[in-house]
Structure 1
Amino acid sequence: MNIPNTITLARIFSVPLIVWLILTEQMLGAFVVFVLGGVSDALDGLIAKQFDSVTMLGKYLDPLADKILLVSIFVTLGIKEEIPSWLVILVVSRDILIIGGILFSYLMEIKVVIKPVMISKANTFFQIVLAALVLANAAFTMEIALMIVIFVYIVAMTTVLSGYSYLTTWVKQSNLPKID
């Protein structure tokens, strides 16, 4: 286990703490831990690249850590009614669609290569910004409601576009036989 993978695991282990902090309305703590999670995400990638420590485990673990963190925060913020439930459903459904497609392909022994595309990276970025804005707004009682609403719709749009992109890529690569 190298340093970047250890940092990534620490990010995964921070998720229950962030969820608990949000549920107990300790938003400043949740905001701080979330920001530290974001810093750790940048740090593990930087260390891995700078010191030639990229591992196969890290290639899978890092995006998994991001998904666990974001989905957990979105669900928790949805439960606390800090973000709209329809957006939580949309974000989680897209991730289920992607994971379901990958699992289906694996079970059906269909070779499909799914790589993050620009719209997916943009979607992740906007999800992070939205979560940070919502946590900051609650922690510091800022007046940024309009900005949050704008990011809610940006996240919704990029989530739909990203899901569509993954779905069309999967359909093109899967070459599923037609049923008569």
Structure 2
Amino acid sequence: MTEPTVAPTGGNPWNIPNLLSVLRLIAVPVFLWAILTHHDVLAVVILVASGLTDWLDGKIARAFNMTSRLGELLDPIADRLYIVTTILGLGIRGVVPWWLVVALLGRDVLLAILMAWARRFGIFGVPVQFVGKMATFALLCAFPVVLLPHAVDATTIWARPLGWALMTWGLGLYWFSAVVYAAEIEQIARANGAEGQEAIDGDD
């Protein structure tokens, strides 16, 4: 599931940031194949490239005013796909425990349920919060570092503790961002409900 967002308007969709997002999406099945077939070096390279292009497309879009509706939709979709496919792949491989897989995917399921409920109040998205971006950044940094010892044995001594520190930080931020989004959705729903009631009272 993508982070709840308000759809932007305008902008030329045919630009470099969107091309980078499309390339990230194309690389998702390649990454999944690599990790499930134990091509761990390739999997790590794809994860690192994904993180770098995620950072780069945002920088380019802001620096050269290349923001667009398509770009604002593609970027979070690519992020969520990488998080879902990576955590599932790591779980299947036994690199991470299944409770972590459930914890990360459960957060997205919870937000999906909240957004479905919010549509009853005319809410189809809320602005992306900084904590949500930081959570995604932490997880996208953690994944390649956690996988690195399986690709290069010599990195185990430092990559394993660093990877799990980033993973713990990312998991905490991921759930904290869910609480922030839930509170914002509830606040907007209350406001919309109050406005609807005032309209009904006014008609009376």
Whether contact under 8 Å (2:40, 2:150) holds in the other structure is yes
Residues 55-134 of structure 1 correspond to what in structure 2 (within 5 A)? Answer: 55-106=68-119, 108-111=120-123, 113-134=125-146
Bigger-Rg structure (1/2)? 2
Alignment CA distance shift 1:151-1:124 (3 Å): same
Unpaired stretches in structure 2, ≥5 consecutive residues? 1-13, 194-204
* 1:54 paired residue number: 67
Identity %: 27
Does the aligned pair in 1 maintain the 2:17–2:60 contact within 8 Å?
yes
Q: Deviations over 1:59-105 (max 9, x none)?
A: 11111111111111111111111112111111111112223322332
Single out whichever of 154-163 and 79-88 deviates more from structure 2: 154-163
| Aligned residues of 1:78 and 1:84 also touching (Cα < 8 A) | yes
For residue 144 of structure 2, give the secondary structure of its aligned residue in structure 1.
helix
Code of the aligned partner of 2:55? A
TM-score, length-scaled by structure 2: 0.77
Taking only aligned residues, the RMSD between alpha carbons, in angstroms, comes to 2.0
Structure 1 range deviating more: 123-132 or 24-33: 123-132
String of CA shifts for 1:91-121, please: whole Å, max 9, x gaps. 1111122233223323x24236522323222
Q: Report deviation, 1:167.
A: 1.4
Q: In the aligned structure 2, how far is the partner of 1:6 from the partner of 1:152?
A: 29
Q: TM-score, normalised by structure 1?
A: 0.87
Select the residue among 128, 143, 149 that pairs with 1:137: 149
In the TM superposition, residue 159 of structure 1 has moved relative to its aligned partner by 2.4
Matched pairs, number: 176
Shift of 1:39: 1.8
